A = this chain, B = another copy of it.
Amino acid sequence: MKIVFIGAGRLATNMAFALQRAHHEVVGIMSRTEVSSRRLAEAVGCSWTTVIEDLRRDADIYIVAVSDNAVPTIVHLLGKIVPTALVVHTAGSLSMDVFKNSGLKHFGVFYPMQTFSKERRVDFHTVSCFVEACDVFSLKVLKSLAESLGSPVYELSSSDRRYLHLAAVIACNFSNHCYVMAADVLNRCGIPFKVLLPLIDETVLKIHGMSAEDAQTGPAARGDNLVLSAQKALLADQPDYKEIYTLMSENIQNTRKKRDRIDDKL
C-alpha cells in the first residue's frame, strides 16, 4: 500500500521504517518543521513537505501521527484534500469522533500501544495494535496493515480505548517514573542504577507467569510498618517523593487487605 505520514516524530519514524520493511511504500511525509520532515523523508527515501496542501493525493492511507491536540485540525484539512482516501489517527486517547464533519468518507484509528524513542527501533512483532474504523472496508484494511507488520491486532471501540490508554500510561510511564525516582535515591550515595536492573527484570518476568497482585512483595505488602516509617524518614527532604511513597504504600496495603478479605470468604 502507498502510505503518507502526517507527523515525523517518534511514532511516525518507527512506524514508517516498519512499514517499509513490510514492503509497503511510504510515499510522502508532512511535518510542521522542514528539519524533521526532511530528516524522516530522506531516511525512507520519499518526498516531503511542510504544507499539507502540497501532499500527494494518490496514497491509499494517510496516517496522522501528530500530537493529540493537532489531530482535529489535520483531519479537517485532509477532508478537503483527500476526501475519499482512508485517513487514520494513532492516538490512544482520542475518540474516532474527531473525524465527524471532516468530509472524510473512510476513516479510523490505528493505535500501536508502545513506548517509542527515536534512538531505539521498535520491533512491531511485539506491538499490540488496536484498530477501529467507520466501515467494514476500512477496518479490513487496518487489520491487514497490522498483520503485515506481524503485530497482534485487536478491534477496540473509542470508549474502551480510553481505558486501555490510561492503563498503558500507568503501566509504562508511571513504572518508568518509579525507575527515575529509584535512580535519584541511589544517586545520593553514589550507587549506580545498573545494580537495580536484575531486580527490575525479575519483577517483570514474574508477571508473565502470575498476576501482579500475586507477585507483590516488600514492606507494604507484608505490613512491615517499621520499615515503612524508616523509609519515609529517609525521604524527609523530598516531600514529593515522600508523598508518593506514602500513597503507593497505603494503596498496596489496601489491595492486600481487600484480597485477604476475599480469601477469608472463600
Give the B-binding residues of A (Cβ under 8 A). Answer: 10, 67-69, 93, 113-117, 119-120, 122, 126-128, 152, 154, 156, 159-160, 162-183, 185-186, 188-189, 191, 193, 195-204, 206-222, 224, 226-227, 230-231, 234-235, 240-241, 243-245, 247-248, 250-252, 254-255
Contacts and interface: CB of A to CB of B under 8 A. Distances in A.
Nearest to A197: B208
Nearest to A209: B120
Looking at A174, A182, A191, which has the most chain B CB atoms within 10 Å of its CB? A174
A178 B183 contact: no
Contact of A113 (B160, B181, B195): B195
29 contacts: A68-B224, A119-B209, A152-B195, A163-B186, A164-B186, A165-B231, A167-B182, A167-B183, A167-B185, A167-B191, A169-B219, A169-B220, A170-B181, A171-B179, A171-B203, A172-B217, A173-B216, A173-B219, A175-B179, A177-B212, A178-B178, A183-B212, A193-B211, A193-B212, A240-B250, A240-B251, A244-B244, A244-B247, A244-B248
A171 B160 contact: no
A212 B180 contact: yes
Nearest to A115: B217
Contacts of A180: 212-213, 216, 252, 255
Nearest to A230: B93
Contact of A212 (B164, B176, B244, B247): B176
A241 B219 CA distance: 20
Contacts of A163: 185-186, 188-189, 191, 234
Contacts of A203: 115, 171-172, 175-176
B178 A217 contact: no
Contacts of A220: 169, 173
Q: Which 4 A-B pairs have the closest CB atoms?
A: A173-B218, A179-B212, A171-B182, A175-B175
A181 to B, nearest CB: 5
A180 B220 CA distance: 14
A114 B198 CA distance: 8
Contacts of A176: 203, 207, 212, 215-217
Nearest to A190: B160
Contacts of A179: 171, 175, 207, 212
B195 A172 contact: no
A173 B254 contact: no
